[in-house]
A and B are shown apart, each in its own frame.
Chain A
Amino acid sequence: EAGVTQSPTHLIKTRGQQATLRCSPISGHTSVYWYQQALGLGLQFLLWYDEGEERNRGNFPPRFSGRQFPNYSSELNVNALELEDSALYLCASSLEFWGPTGELFFGEGSRLTVL
Chain B
Amino acid sequence: KQEVTQIPAALSVPEGENLVLNCSFTDSAIYNLQWFRQDPGKGLTSLLLIQSSQREQTSGRLNASLDKSSGRSTLYIAASQPGDSATYLCAVRFLKNTGTASKLTFGTGTRLQVTL
A residues contacting B by CB (< 8 A) are: 4, 33, 35, 42-43, 45, 48, 56, 58, 88, 90, 92, 98, 101-109, 111
Closest to B102 in A: A56
* B49 neighbours in A (Cβ, 8 Å): 101-103
By DSSP majority rule, is chain B's interface helix, strand, loop, or mixed?
A: strand
Q: Known A33-B103, A43-B89, A56-B103; judge A104-B46 contact (CB<8 A).
A: yes
Question: Can you report 14 A-B residue pairs in the complex whose CB atoms are below 8 A from each other?
Answer: A4-B43, A33-B103, A35-B106, A42-B108, A45-B105, A98-B100, A98-B101, A101-B49, A102-B32, A103-B32, A105-B46, A106-B43, A108-B42, A108-B43
The one of A42, A45, A90, A101 in contact with B43, judged by C-beta atoms closer than 8 angstroms, is A90
Closest to A101 in B: B49
B54 CB, min distance to chain A CBs, angstroms: 12
Asked if B103 contacts A106 (CB within 8 A), the reply is no
Asked if B104 contacts A103 (CB within 8 A), the reply is no
Q: For the side of the interface on B, what is the size category? A: 20 to 34
In the assembled complex, the Cα of A33 lies from the Cα of B106 at a distance in Å of: 13
Cβ-based interface call for B36 (8 A): yes
In the assembled complex, the Cα of A33 lies from the Cα of B44 at a distance in Å of: 13
* B74 neighbours in A (Cβ, 8 Å): none
* B103 neighbours in A (Cβ, 8 Å): 33, 45, 48, 56, 58
Question: Beyond the given A48-B103, A92-B44, could you list 5 further A-B residue pairs with CB under 8 A, ordered by the A residue number?
Answer: A42-B106, A101-B49, A104-B46, A106-B36, A106-B46
In the assembled complex, the Cα of A2 lies from the Cα of B18 at a distance in Å of: 33
